[in-house]
Chains A and B, each alone.
Chain A
């Protein structure tokens, strides 16, 4: 069983569209994250939720809206997609919100904006 699973794995869409990426973890973790890895391979945190509550919101355009219906799920909705949004988006989870706990990553969603 996949511990952290994301769907879809690939997403190709046109500029201006709205899309969502889903993430689910079956590890029983309390904390989940979204990261963006750009074309230069730089991995940067976007959001973090602990037990459905937002705890980190980095400088991300408000076109990006995370939603956590329960602690096992953290979805990412993106409005009005732009060319610069093309990247790989990774979901991750950890047992709790403390950063001495390693994170487990999903296998990524490759978003390409045409």
Chain B
């Protein structure tokens, strides 16, 4: 069965620090999709990125970057020069191609960025 583990429950940093959120996944499918979502205090789930299992290229979007490594089943998320507005709960999630297509979420990492 599929599983997503976010071992960091809560991280607190000071503004302008870099921070990396870890995500480790388990799946038997050879084709799968990995996601990151941001959930600010207002509660909505904001889509950040999707990666499929055949695309191991790292991605950078502004201050955000993602490192996907199939060898270690990890999909880590780094925020560079963090800002107070980055404070939120961040969820990593997995969708399988032939197994469960609905998202299986990790337990989330609460990021607090102090001014």
Q: Do A and B come from one complex?
A: no
User: Which A residues form the contact surface with B (CB < 8 A)?
Assistant: none
